[in-house]
Amino acid sequence: MKLQNDLIVRAARGEETERVPVWVMRQAGRILSEYRATRAQAGSFKNLLKNPALAAEVTIQPVDILGVDAAILFSDILVIPEAIGLPYKMDEGKGPSFDKVIENESDVDALSTENVLTELSYVFETIQIIKKNLAGRVPLIGFAGAPWTIFCYMVEGRGSKTFSKSRAMLMQNPVLAHRLLSKITDATIIYLKKQIELGCDLVQLFDSWAGILNKETYNTFALPYINQICESISTVPVTVFAKGAFFSLEEMGKLPCATLGIDWHTEPSMARALAPGKTLQGNLDPAVLYGSDELIRRETIKMLEKFGPQRYIANLGHGVYPDVDHKKLKLFIQTIQAHQF
Amino acid sequence: MKLQNDLIVRAARGEETERVPVWVMRQAGRILSEYRATRAQAGSFKNLLKNPALAAEVTIQPVDILGVDAAILFSDILVIPEAIGLPYKMDEGKGPSFDKVIENESDVDALSTENVLTELSYVFETIQIIKKNLAGRVPLIGFAGAPWTIFCYMVEGRGSKTFSKSRAMLMQNPVLAHRLLSKITDATIIYLKKQIELGCDLVQLFDSWAGILNKETYNTFALPYINQICESISTVPVTVFAKGAFFSLEEMGKLPCATLGIDWHTEPSMARALAPGKTLQGNLDPAVLYGSDELIRRETIKMLEKFGPQRYIANLGHGVYPDVDHKKLKLFIQTIQAHQF
């Protein structure tokens, strides 16, 4: 089905766009009362995730309510560990946790990519419902966690300020680390290819914990796997969002991907200079949405002028904070869509 | 009293040193069994902090056991909020928390810098014992939290991944934010001046939460106050360690301070280029100390060669992780002290 609004796809491909397109990380989430209602209906985050009809519903809500230029699949990066043999729990207010973690060779051997497609059939069903109900209005963004971030959760068992267990494994047993990263990569490729086959118009890799490494470790343990994933995908544009990885921007500029997401710590001029061939995505400080309407307009326009009108997809520099008033987010979106350069 | 080993002071002042000096953030801490014994004797972290004899003991332990080139006062950055009227608790394994937080004008009005010297007399007593017992062997580093980081705790009431309440205040009520930052700054100046009067040979400002801001907000809400503190101190070198603030390195290069601490995310070459007049301190990835002796030696020497032999104080890029074997830390220190350029 031909897209009625394909601005984001064209911007990603480096084609000219009439205006800057925009979507927002975590646009389908707690910020919307409609999401909270559907979530309550599902009973829990994981129930919502695994209920294709409801997951499709919350995916489409921000398109209707906020007027964003893309929908992003409502799912979770941790479905991949679960699909290869490491189930997780999501505790209210405490975040995800794994009962079992990866510590040695046999733990890695026990993981299998064989059942990724069947284990994640609920995601694929969700995508089919979304595509049908979106009816080509806007593109659908698929996604997965980047291997390094998934690795962190699988080794640590939960979120962490330092992920020092994960970083200890890189130092103590790099061979084991590479084996685990490689297995995650294989599963991610299977997963993303199926998302694309079912109609995702772009895909994004989220490397949420990139920023705890440095240039050398990121280039050794993270980028090669991201590179492998990008290489395996040729039919739709890939976005790589490595939060905090300013130190590897130049190397990311050489990835076979279309778009780089940047956070609010990195100045657009720095990203343009270090990754000249890429479309950029980002990067308003999410805290700006706590400000007055005037502040939001001023900062949003400042951001637009820094990136310029082409090869650019507007977004926040990270997920929207759940306690932001959704009207403030709508103002951000509308300011972008109305801006004349 | 003349210092027998003044390498760190001379490196900070930009004077030539025969070898690279080294100390380690959190060198007085859980990594040493001697610390754990003294801590157990005190009963709690805050008891240890407020017991001058024991706090002095753990300050000196790493000089004896690890052979570092400086001692750093054993204390906590949160003694400042407490001294101006906002007491905190330290819960085992959960970190610090405040019963009351700063939300409005009257909360800021209620804070007073009047009693900083009497409230913190236990710190000053600690310094006097340390200076006496160190007997000039190595310099003593005093410290305080940078105003922005202290502000975060006072507004949020505890640690946070995003400190979004604090960032919301910057957006919603910048005037109030500046008033609070200014009050923290005044208290910090009183505190540091007294530390120096009692014999601290250098002082360091820790801006632990610098990295959640961006260039513009950091330059607006953090650097002016750091600048004010640096300007108020003329007799000893000041080190500014703003973790994660790579985006403001150029501006930090213009601060009236002697040394900039850098974390492991920032390459030494980037810091040298952006802050050419400064002595640099850092920046080994603390996770390297989980590695083999061979890895530690190799990475430490790589770090030394990147910074070069002068205007340099070796350190980790952040505090040592508490579960690191102290023999690994000792190897790091000895590798630096033995290195021939």
A236-266 exposure pattern, b = at least 16 Cβ within 10 A, e = fewer: bbbbbbbbbbbbbbebbbebebbbbbbbbbb
Specify whether A76 is catalytic: yes
Residues facing A206 on adjacent strands: A145, A241
- pLDDT for the residue numbered A1: 76
- CATH class in words for B7-338: alpha beta
Q: B302: which 2 tokens?
A: 């790589």
Q: B137: which 2 tokens?
A: 């062997």
Inter-chain CB proximity B217 and A285 less than 8 Å: yes
In contact, A279 and A12? CB cutoff 8 Å: yes
Inter-chain CB proximity A288 and B168 less than 8 Å: no
In contact, B83 and B116? CB cutoff 8 Å: yes
Q: How many residues does chain B have?
A: 341
- With left for phi above 0 and alpha for psi between -120 and 50, is residue A73 left, alpha or beta? beta
Looking at chain A, which residue has its C-alpha nearest residue B215? A265
Mean pLDDT of chain B: 97
Could you tell me the pTM of the whole model?
Answer: 0.97
Inter-chain CB proximity A171 and B267 less than 8 Å: no
| Distance of alpha carbon B69 from the chain centroid | 16
- pLDDT for the residue numbered A93: 78
Task: Quote the crossing angle between the two packed helices A174-197 and A147-156, to the nearest 10°.
Answer: 120
Specify whether A325 is catalytic: no
The verdict on A170 touching B (C-beta cutoff 8 Å) is yes
Q: How confident is the model at residue B186 (pLDDT cuts 50, 70, 90)?
A: very high
Specify whether B6 is catalytic: no
Cα separation of B6 and B139, whole Å?
6
Q: A42: which 2 tokens?
A: 């599902």
The yes-or-no verdict on residue B1 having pLDDT over 80 is no
Q: What residues of chain B lie within 8 A of the CB of A242, using their CB?
A: none
Three-class SS string for A291-302?
Answer: CCHHHHHHHHHH
pLDDT by residue (tens digit) across A107-152? Answer: 999 999 999 999 999 999 999 999 999 999 999 999 999 999 999 9
Cβ atoms within 10 Å, residue B14 = 14
Specify whether A6 is catalytic: no
Inter-chain CB proximity A214 and B264 less than 8 Å: yes
To the nearest whole Å, the CA of B172 is away from the closest chain A CA by 5
| Sequential DSSP letters for B185-214 | HHHHHHHHHHHHHTT-SEEEEEETTGGGS-
| Alpha-helical regions (H) of B25-157 | 33-42, 45-49, 52-66, 79-83, 105-109, 116-119, 121-134, 147-156
* Mutation choice for B interface testing from A213, A219, A285 by most B CBs within 10 A: A285
Q: Where are the domains of chain B?
A: 7-338
The verdict on B53 touching A (C-beta cutoff 8 Å) is no
Q: How many residues does chain A have?
A: 341
Whose tokens are 């910057």? That residue is B170
Cis before residue B115, ω within 30 degrees of 0? no
Question: Which one is catalytic: B13, B30, B137, B298?
Answer: B30
The yes-or-no verdict on residue B242 having pLDDT over 90 is yes
pLDDT by residue (tens digit) across B84-103? Answer: 999 999 987 789 999 999 99
DSSP state at residue B237:
-
To the nearest whole Å, the CA of A225 is away from the closest chain B CA by 20
Question: Which one is catalytic: B26, B167, B272, B311?
Answer: B26
pLDDT by residue (tens digit) across A142-185? Answer: 999 999 999 999 999 999 888 999 999 999 999 999 999 999 99
Q: How confident is the model at residue A256 (pLDDT cuts 50, 70, 90)?
A: very high
